[in-house]
Amino acid sequence: MAHVFQTFDKNGKPHPRFKFEYRDWKGNKRKSTGTTSEKETEKIANHVQSEQDAIRKGWKPVPKEADKPHDFTSTVQEYLEWGSSCGGRRGFGWSKDHSGKKRSALNWWADRLKLRTLQDIEQPDVESALRELAEGLEGKTVQGYSEALASFCNWCVSRQYLAIDPLATIKGYDTTPKTPHRELSADEIQKLLDATPPYRALIYRVALATGYRQNELRNLKVSNLDLFGPSLPLAAEFCKDRRDARQPISRELADELAALAKSKAPESPLLPMPRKDTCGKNLDRDFTDAGITREIKGVGKATFHSLRVNYINAVVKSGADLKTIMTLARHSSATMSMSTYAKPDAQRLRDCAETVAKTFKPAPAAAILPQRVAVGAESEAVTARNAVTCVIKKMASLRGFEPRSEA
């Protein structure tokens, strides 16, 4: 049978809440906390013990893990630890940046909805909070908060911490950015490289020649430089899509990188990449020095990621087939390469329009009119005017008079 007892702190002072001990349906001893009233705690203890006895005797079904109330904060911590070890693509752990965003979003949900247990998560409350967020943030940011909680709930269901997903039918937000990363013109790129110190200009050139993202460039080592390809390979753990990458580069760029890395250790950084925030500040200064307008209304904003946009568009404009474009862009879908990154070229659109117009251009009138053949004479090309004259003469002869000849 269950029994109630009281515990004391290190100073001998009794704790306000009584505790009780009982045996679960497996026969194991368990302890739990009751209320500040000994009689109420005794009632709770007897009720819990009778429930466990009923399960042991087969009168009630064995409880599932999802039936237990799980603490939200401790479960989130377990989820983050799992994600950092193997929760990413192809069994890799999340990056520090991704893990930090997850933690921040889930902590925000805990404060916003006053979540104490997993069972406190309810879709109407979540949707109400998202609507408030949408009033001041872009759809992509709002969707990030939504996905953080939704993916957490989905994980809880897989672990049987939740019987059903409370956010299974929640709708997504439009993630189209209001200010996309714009493509730099050839003139802007030249100005940027001319106005930038040589060591930073090399970083921009490698980004333009490979399409590597900022953090991917930061993880390139001297040992990554392949002079025989030539190419710049990068291990899957450092790539966003968690796949090994090998971006081909020109012989000229490979020789320049080799000269830069000549006196460095194999595991030294290949490029002098600063921290993320410093890199952003440097780019701002370089754009200003180059006289490049950062944001163009209706077009987008010039950022470090614009260098990747330029690379993918250069691959598209080279006339490469779709498989080559996807491979070099390191995209798993053609939609990402062609709809998100590839930009229409005004001159190529104009050239295409001219080509289409020539395809349907009618032949000259003289070429499509019939040939008039005189008795015992050579064939004569009939002009539009001669054709009309023939018709008039034919009608006149049918009416019984000759038309007036031209002077």
Count the residues in the chain.
407
CB within 8 A of 64, min separation 6: which ones? 160, 163
Q: Is the model's pLDDT at 34 over the cut of 70? A: yes
304 shares a domain with 205: yes
CATH of the domain at 132: 1.10.150
The stretch 378-403 carries a mean pLDDT of: 55
383 vs 142, residue with greater confidence: 142
All residues at 6 or more sequence positions from 282 whose CB lies less than 8 Å from its CB, including other chains: 200, 274
In a domain, 44, yes or no: yes
Report pLDDT for 9: 85
Among residues of the chain, what percentage have pLDDT more than 90?
58
User: 203 in helix, strand or coil?
Assistant: helix
pLDDT at 327: 94
User: Is residue 175 included in any domain, yes or no?
Assistant: no
Q: Could you list the residue range(s) of the whole structural domain that residue 314 is in?
A: 186-347
pLDDT of residue 90: 85
> With 50 as the cut, is the pLDDT of residue 380 above it?
no
pLDDT tens figures, 233-272? 999 999 988 899 999 999 999 999 999 999 899 999 999 9
Q: Is the pLDDT of residue 381 over 50?
A: no
Burial class (CB in 10 A: 0-12, 13-18, 19+), 21: middle
* 338 in the same domain as 208: yes
Is 134 found in the same domain as 107?
yes
In a domain, 353, yes or no: no
340 and 199, same structural domain?
yes
What is the reported pTM?
0.67
**What is the structure's pLDDT at 171?**
92
- Position 407 scores a pLDDT of 45
Same-domain status, 59 and 90:
no
Within a domain: 198: yes
Confidence category of residue 212, pLDDT binned at 50, 70, 90 = very high
Tell whether 163 is covered by a domain. no
Q: Which of 42-46, 313-317, 375-379 has the lowest mean pLDDT?
A: 375-379
Is residue 226 domain-shared with residue 297, that is, in the same domain? yes
Domain boundary among 41, 63, 85: 63
**Backbone torsions φ then ψ of 33, nearest 5 degrees:** -105, 135
Same domain? For 109 and 249 the reply is no
What is the pLDDT, as a whole number, of residue 365? Answer: 59
With respect to residue 176, please indicate whether it lies within any of the assigned structural domains.
Answer: no
Confidence band for 388, pLDDT divided at 50, 70 and 90: low
What is the total count of domains within the chain? Answer: 4
Q: Which residue has the higher pLDDT, 343 or 64?
A: 343
Which of the 8 DSSP states describes residue 336?
I
Q: What is the SS3 assignment for 381? A: strand
Residue 165 falls inside a structural domain: no
> What is the four-CA torsion angle of 122, 127, 133, 138, rounded to 10 degrees?
130
CATH number at residue 260: 1.10.443.10
pLDDT tens digits, 160-174? 899 889 998 999 999
Nearest to 122 by CA among 11, 274, 114: 114
The mean predicted confidence, pLDDT, of the chain is 87
205 and 324 both lie in a single domain: yes
Res 394 pLDDT > 70: no
134 or 401, greater pLDDT: 134
The angle at the Cα of 103, spanning 124 to 173, to the nearest 5 degrees, equals 40
Tell me the DSSP string of 41-58: HHHHHHHHHHHHHHHHTT
Q: Scan for tokens 């349906």, then name that residue.
A: 25
Would you say 328 and 247 are in contact if contact means Cβ atoms under 8 Å apart?
Answer: yes
C-alpha torsion sign, points 50, 56, 58, 62: positive
Statement to judge: residues 19 and 138 lie in one domain: no
Question: From residue 81, how far is each of 65, 73, 88, 148, 199 by CA, in Å?
Answer: 20, 13, 12, 15, 38
Residues 205 and 288 in one domain: yes
| 333 and 278 inside one domain | yes
Same domain, 35 and 149: no
What is the distance between the alpha carbons of residues 107 and 101, in angstroms, rounded to a whole number? 10
Bond into 344 cis (ω within 30): no
User: What local confidence, expressed as pLDDT, does residue 300 receive?
Assistant: 92
pLDDT band at residue 82, thresholds of 50, 70 and 90? very high
Nearest Cα neighbor of 45 from 60, 35, 55 is 35
Please say if the pLDDT value at position 201 is more than 90: yes
Residue 346 has pLDDT above 90, yes or no: no
Q: Which segment of 35-49, 95-109, 376-390 scores lowest on mean pLDDT? A: 376-390
The answer to whether residue 218 sits within a structural domain is yes
Helix H segments across 291-345? 305-317, 322-329, 334-335
Predicted local confidence at residue 281, as pLDDT: 92
